[in-house]
């Protein structure tokens, strides 16, 4: 069946930013990206769903093709996923106002006033992508992500693969991953995380007694998940507005260039520099990544 949704893309919507994020994998099995639209496969509540979102300013009519029945809860999850992939979670205007007279980031921000944070379709996708991508180069991370989708995901009736949910990933074995170029440590962390989420021991849904900050602390308690993975996952998964990416190599490289220094600032100094942008550190990171736009592999 097909569900339809109308979303409003704001004036000055930066289509190229959205395209750049979703077409990272030239051999993608779960995304089809053209200059005019995005098609993305994802499992939601166990149902294979293909999202289709046109890319144009103003009201756009998005669709979801379901290999199953819709429910009010599933319809809400689809709506949330569409907002995520279109980068509609964080309004850039408050950051623009706060940064107006900043000497370090102000000039960068004025070049890209409509820059937005584009997200993964689901929190689980964002956090597994962060685990897969940590401490390796972007090209290798993309190849591992593709392997993970083919191992744990399911194919939609249209042929597009759907990014897995926790129960699907938790059924994998270490050998399923290590035999396909995952390091043992990365495979163990990925399966440990998926198992905790699938069992309900790790609840990723914000609510009373389970704020995003509390979720972040619980994620840090999972063996193999460190501060960078948590902050990147909160940024791409929830659109959390104040993630400090001070441990990110590209963020530190961008700070080095803007400061005109010979070496990248230490992680501790980068954290101190980014503190001045609270509660907008997520947007600060986005603009630092964008300042390296002509480089390769600068933003995972």
Residue 12 has a pLDDT of 86
Q: Which is nearest to 233 in space by CA: 135, 141, 129, 146?
A: 129
CB contact set of 55 (below 8 Å; sequence gap of 6+): 9, 13, 15, 18, 19, 35, 36, 37, 38
Stated pTM of the model: 0.92
Residue 198 has a pLDDT of 98
Q: How far is CA 121 from CA 31, 71, 180, in A?
A: 11, 18, 25
CB contact set of 213 (below 8 Å; sequence gap of 6+): none
Residue 299 has a pLDDT of 47
Residue 298 has a pLDDT of 41
Residue 135 has a pLDDT of 86
CA torsion angle 10 87 115 117 (round to 10): 160
For each of the domains in the chain, give its residue range(s) and CATH number, in order of start.
2-90 (3.30.310.20)
Q: Which residues pair with 258 in a beta bridge?
A: none
Residue 7 parent element (H or E): strand 2-9
Q: Two tokens at 277?
A: 């942008």
Residue 294 has a pLDDT of 55
Mean pLDDT for each consecutive 10-residue tract of the chain (300 residues)?
94 89 93 95 98 90 96 96 95 92 92 92 97 92 97 97 98 97 97 98 94 95 94 92 92 95 95 96 94 59
């Amino acid at each position: 069946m097909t569900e339809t949704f109308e979303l409003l893309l704001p004036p000055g919507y930066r289509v190229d930013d959205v395209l750049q994020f979703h077409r990272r994998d030239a051999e993608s099995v779960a995304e089809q990206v053209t200059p005019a639209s995005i098609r993305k496969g994802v499992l939601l509540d166990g149902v294979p769903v293909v999202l289709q979102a046109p890319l144009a300013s103003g009201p756009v009519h998005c669709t979801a093709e379901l290999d199953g029945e819709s429910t009010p809860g599933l319809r809400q999850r689809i709506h949330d996923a569409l907002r995520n992939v279109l980068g509609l979670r964080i309004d850039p205007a408050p950051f623009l106002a706060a940064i107006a007279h900043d000497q370090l980031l102000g000039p960068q921000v004025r070049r890209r006033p409509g820059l937005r944070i584009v997200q993964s379709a689901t929190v689980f996708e964002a956090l597994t992508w962060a685990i897969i991508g940590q401490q390796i180069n972007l090209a290798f991370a993309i190849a591992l992500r593709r392997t993970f989708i083919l191992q744990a995901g399911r194919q939609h009736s249209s042929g597009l693969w759907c990014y897995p949910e926790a129960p699907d990933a938790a059924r994998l074995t270490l050998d399923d991953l290590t035999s396909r170029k995952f390091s043992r440590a990365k495979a163990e962390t990925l399966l440990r995380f998926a198992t905790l989420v699938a069992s309900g021991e790790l609840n990723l849904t914000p609510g009373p007694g389970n704020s995003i900050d509390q979720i972040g602390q619980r994620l840090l308690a999972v063996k193999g998940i460190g501060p960078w993975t948590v902050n990147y996952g909160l940024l791409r998964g929830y659109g959390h507005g104040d993630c400090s990416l001070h441990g990110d190599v590209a963020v530190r490289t961008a700070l080095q260039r803007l400061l005109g220094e010979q070496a990248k600032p230490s992680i501790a100094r980068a954290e101190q520099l980014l503190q001045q942008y609270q509660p907008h550190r997520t947007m600060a990171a986005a603009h630092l990544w964008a300042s390296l736009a002509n480089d390769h592999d600068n933003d995972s």
